[in-house]
Amino acid sequence: MVLEGTIRDLDSPENRFPGRFDVRRCLFVTAEGERIPAVVKRMPASRWDRLLGPSRAERCLRTAEWLRTAGVATPEPLAVERGEGESAYVCRQLPEAVQVRAWFRHRYETSVAAPPSPHGFDEVVEALGRLARAMHDGGVFFRDFTDGNILVTTGDSGPVLWLVDLDRARRSKGPLGIVRRLRDLSRPGLNAPSDQRALLRAYGASPLALWLFGVSALRLKTRVWDTFKRAVRPWRW
């Protein structure tokens, strides 16, 4: 359930996240005066939003509800706003969260320091496989299952993974088919076959060799496409 309240932006540069849309830390002040540390994502409306609805922010809210039903963690939704030409989605801030990208960069780039977390790479990959399986069995095709959209916090029994940036997700009436599962599983930045194999084992993929072939092929395609996008749109990276 979303709340009535006001978004108060925190305009300093360190409160702005890099990326395609305007995403920044903010304060969400409820109608009762409670001040909640939050994150707001503002997204321009497309002509299809205006004609067909719902807005991108409303799709974020719908996906958050799907994920929670499937037992997948996502920051608590607080508010949705729809204005002229844009919409905004507000969720509770996770102050101690670290992007899963930090573990992957440390894994493949020796100059990158380990993330500030008690959890190791293997723990995070295993948790990632379990998260993906719960999401897919719940019928959610995330479509943007990338390193920057998965956050890690510390739970009582290990790492807890959270999904953010929800507007591109779609939901089926039942569990996903193999093609959509492979497309999501190829998106995280696990480039070594041994690491991809560990992800698929945690996911419960069988037969493993077939799934590994699919993930490896799609991962290569993704890396080539990302390299091209970095070349033509360096300001987004």
Please tell me the predicted confidence (pLDDT) of residue 46.
74
Q: Which residues pair with 7 in a beta bridge?
A: 28
CA distance from start to end of the chain: 34
Token digits for 90?
């507000």
Domain extents in the chain: 5-92, 98-232
- 98-232 architecture in CATH? Orthogonal Bundle (1.10)
CATH number among 3.30.200.20, 3.40.50.300, 1.10.3720.10, 3.40.50.720, domain 5-92: 3.30.200.20
Count the residues in the chain: 237
* Residue 168: its H or E element: none
Please tell me the predicted confidence (pLDDT) of residue 162.
98
Q: Which amino acid is present at 61?
A: L
Please tell me the predicted confidence (pLDDT) of residue 13.
86
Please tell me the predicted confidence (pLDDT) of residue 11.
80
**Residue 28 buriedness (CB in 10 A; 0-12 / 13-18 / 19+):** buried
Please tell me the predicted confidence (pLDDT) of residue 49.
67
Supply the pTM of this predicted model. Answer: 0.90
- The DSSP line for 126-154 is HHHHHHHHHHHHTTEE-S---GGGEEEEE
Per-residue pLDDT of the chain (237 residues; tens, 9 = 90+): 688 999 998 888 889 988 788 999 999 999 999 999 999 999 998 776 666 678 899 999 999 999 999 999 999 999 999 887 899 999 999 999 999 999 999 999 989 999 999 999 999 999 999 999 999 999 999 999 999 999 999 988 899 999 999 999 999 999 999 999 999 999 999 999 999 999 999 999 999 999 999 999 999 888 876 776 667 766 555
Please tell me the predicted confidence (pLDDT) of residue 235.
56
Please tell me the predicted confidence (pLDDT) of residue 132.
98
